[in-house]
Structure 1
Amino acid sequence: MQGINKIVEKYKWNQIKLDEKSSNGYRGNHSAAIYKNFMIIFGGEVHQVINDKRISSEITSDIKIVNLITNELKVLKQTGIIPPRKCHIAEVIGRNMIVQGGIDLKGQYLRDVIAYDIVTQRWSQVLTEQHVCFPDGVAFHKSCAVFHNTQIELYKNDPEVKFNYQGVFIFGGFDKNGHYLDKLIKIDITTKPINFEQVQTKGLSPIGRCQHSMNYLEQYQVIVIYGGKNDDLNINGFLNDIHLLDMKSLTWISVEIKGFQVAGRCGHSAACIDSKLYIFGGCNYSGFLKSDLLVIELDPISAQQFGQQDVVVEKPIKSQLKVTFKKQIHKDHLTEIKEKIDQICLRPQKQSLFLPKPRRLSDLLNSLNLKELIQPNQQEKDKDKEKDKEKDQQQKSSRGSNRQSPRKETPRMPIKNIKRTMTTIVNSN
């Protein structure tokens, strides 16, 4: 448990109390982006409790900013007419917050791009080239901004590092026709107008999904996608897979999750810190999930060490007996099947496998009954033959021949005794 204890000691939960006047109800399906020491919250659906039997819901377009140092919550002023929306994406690039897609007040799926200048507090419509990436709009999709810091000497001296794959990357989502999207889209904000481009990748890409998480791990230059929902797969449709996209080669890498296994989820939040992916919250077929924090180590070497440290060995409590733990030998599945067959089989285990198959007891009894029916006629014929032989023998003995008398046939065993004998033989085998 050393690996888990280190994480618990390093990161601890603290409940932050915000100004209730500025909170204005409960908010969901909004976006939250980081700008310096501030968290900018935009849009979403606000739920207010009017009384015990009534809750009002409203899609909003307001902007709130949380000071992460003083824990103050303020409502920012904004100029410009921006339609309210929920289930959109938002990324902070420089001093601008880029917003794309979502669902408006009429339930329409949007595909536009708008920008908010954080300094001047002004909205503007972003000009985009005509594209076919989201012809039916998109919502419940996820995004992450990928930009390399060219000021770091490490990147300057590394000729293999390419800076062509930069921009805001979007994956997944849900359109107005009920389709789960599985395309990777890049928004190039360095061009005017802004360009949408479908990225051609290598490897096995993730299946279409929505309400997943998408993060950029700068330490390894990979995009991490986890979980989500796709009702086309099965009854539940909640995913528990993780995929990495190598930004150097644009190759998808499927990751096998080891250790503690959990059920699939969607609508969760995730963040990459160092080489770990932290996952919190979400929901699945059982409703809202517990407030447990899941940690996925993405570094293969650290993951192997992390797994070895977290092996739990149960020891007896208040016992004076000397206990030794032995490794249980796992038998092959085919070996177990063969042993079960040998126990059921009629022949002993060490008997040759190529012996002829024994006749059934019913066949033997039927043949014996048939012999019993023809037995009286056969006995009369045998008596006549014996008389003829005795006459011949007397004649030959008179002539001085020394031949032995013919052997007498042994009496036949009654059928009842034969049945008992055969039953004993079958049971013994």
Structure 2
Amino acid sequence: MITENQNDHLGGTTPSYPWSARRLVLSPPLLKDLGKPDVVPPTNPSPPPFPRYGHALPATATRDGELYLFGGLVREAARNDLYLLHARDLSATLLQTAGEIPSPRVGQASAIVSNVLIVWGGDTKTDPKSRQDDKQDDGLYLLNLQSKEWTRVAVSGPGPVGRYGHAVTMAHTSKFIVFGGQVDGQFLNDLWSFDLNSLRSRPQWELMEPTSSEKPAQRTGHVCINHGDRIIMSDGQFHYNDTWSFDLTTRKWSELTCIGFIPAPREGHAAALIDDVMYIFGGRGVDGRDLNDLAAFKLSNQRWYMFQNMEPAPSGRSGHAMASSVIKYLCWEANHSRQ
């Protein structure tokens, strides 16, 4: 579903902001070895990627409007499939990959840098046969988008414990940031950074300890975006409706004093950044019901805006994902809530 980027509403005018539902074009699966003479290209369309819950979708598309959807829960089974979604023609293609492919999981997060897809975390113990003492996968996986080969990074030193329900974002071009999440019922509020430049020498995580005592409470199901030298984090389970900023230079957390129509507390919602405006949609409210409201947070004045009269609009949901694209402005790939 797509809504165009019309930021004029944040400057005083009142245009309309309709949702539009579009049917995905399902292209034939793309085989990794399609260029070999003995490989016959498939002609049947790819299986539909949705409905799906707890999948990973990078917050921004590539310059060509490409989005990569990985894993999640499909009919109560965790998956590790990969789809290429084109914002330009609204198509979905199942991709064949090779290498050290991440195991099936739900609640993971991902990002794109240049021609690399990064996937980290997720609940990897969804199989009923999983042992109680099994640990969540803490591997950092990189997919070369040209060769379609996965690599699990051999990290030196300590790193974040495997988890799900966390949020990630990219900062300063090369830093992959992870905040919060949960593991075995324990909620977390630690902040970790992995600098992709360290791949050239000694790959390692860095625990970004704050320099001040003030910091967000432990949480899961929240959202994070990067804007300049700041990480903006909002909401999360325990149903907060707070908004925090982490300064990457001073390493200080500060709770923002927001004004306007502050959204109701929620978790499991999704967010996307367009210019200096963070949009959030849906999530699960305090009463356990899934929401279908759209809100916008303008970073320059720390004001929340709510949208009214949006019908017809998507149904309430959580565990979905959002992404921004320069081609379709705000591209939303989502799914109904987990049953």
Would you call these one fold, judging by a TM-score over 0.5?
yes
Q: Choose which of 182, 186, 192 in structure 1 pairs with 2:193.
A: 186
Runs of 4+ in structure 1 off by over 6 angstroms are none
Q: Does the CA contact (< 8 Å) of 1:281 and 1:288 recur in 2? A: no
Query: Is 2:71 the partner of 1:43?
Result: yes
Structure 1 residue aligned with 2:15: 9
1:25: Cα distance to partner? Answer: 4.5
Structure 2 residue aligned with 1:214: 224
Using the alignment, how far apart are the partners of 1:144 and 1:118 within structure 2?
19
Gaps of 5+ in 1: 48-56, 149-165, 230-236, 308-429
Structure 2 residue aligned with 1:88: 108
Structure 1 residue aligned with 2:319: none
Query: Is 2:254 the partner of 1:253?
Result: yes
1:179-201 per-position Cα deviation (integer Å, ceiling 9, x unaligned): 21111111122113421110122
Q: Does the CA contact (< 8 Å) of 1:87 and 1:102 recur in 2? A: yes
1:6: Cα distance to partner? Answer: 5.7
Higher relative contact order (CA 8 A, sep 6+): 2
RMSD over aligned Cα atoms = 2.5
Using the alignment, how far apart are the partners of 1:7 and 1:43 within structure 2?
40
Identity %: 22
Structure 2 residue aligned with 1:140: 165
Gaps of 5+ in 2: 1-7, 27-45, 307-339
More helix by share: 1
Q: What is the count of residue pairs matched by the alignment?
A: 266
Using the alignment, how far apart are the partners of 2:156 and 2:95 within structure 1?
30
Q: Does the CA contact (< 8 Å) of 1:101 and 1:112 recur in 2? A: yes
Using the alignment, how far apart are the partners of 2:85 and 2:159 within structure 1?
36
SS at match of 2:250: coil
Query: Compared with structure 1, are the counterparts of its residues 90 and 8 closer, same or farther at alpha carbon in structure 2 (3 Å cutoff)?
Result: farther
Query: Compared with structure 1, are the counterparts of its residues 213 and 6 closer, same or farther at alpha carbon in structure 2 (3 Å cutoff)?
Result: same
More strand by share: 2
Q: Does the CA contact (< 8 Å) of 1:244 and 1:253 recur in 2? A: yes
Using the alignment, how far apart are the partners of 1:286 and 1:303 within structure 2?
25
Q: How does 1:134-283 map to 2 (within 5 A)?
A: 134=161, 137-148=162-173, 167-176=175-184, 178-192=185-199, 193-203=202-212, 204-218=214-228, 221-229=229-237, 237-283=238-284
Using the alignment, how far apart are the partners of 1:289 and 1:299 within structure 2?
29
TM-score (structure 1 length as normaliser):
0.57
Q: Choose which of 81, 84, 92 in structure 2 pairs with 1:73.
A: 92
Q: Which has the larger radius of gyration?
A: 1
Using the alignment, how far apart are the partners of 2:186 and 2:203 within structure 1?
25
Using the alignment, how far apart are the partners of 1:257 and 1:98 within structure 2?
32
Structure 2 residue aligned with 1:60: 79
SS at match of 2:122: strand
| Aligned AA (1:88) | Q
Q: Choose which of 151, 155, 158 in structure 2 pairs with 1:131.
A: 158
1:272: Cα distance to partner? Answer: 2.1
Q: Does the CA contact (< 8 Å) of 1:110 and 1:139 recur in 2? A: no
Query: Compared with structure 1, are the counterparts of its residues 121 and 289 closer, same or farther at alpha carbon in structure 2 (3 Å cutoff)?
Result: same
Using the alignment, how far apart are the partners of 1:201 and 1:288 within structure 2?
34
TM-score (structure 2 length as normaliser):
0.72
Q: Does the CA contact (< 8 Å) of 1:189 and 1:195 recur in 2? A: no
Q: Does the CA contact (< 8 Å) of 1:41 and 1:65 recur in 2? A: yes
| Aligned AA (1:253) | S
SS at match of 2:15: helix
Q: How does 1:296-335 map to 2 (within 5 A)?
A: 296-300=297-301, 303=303
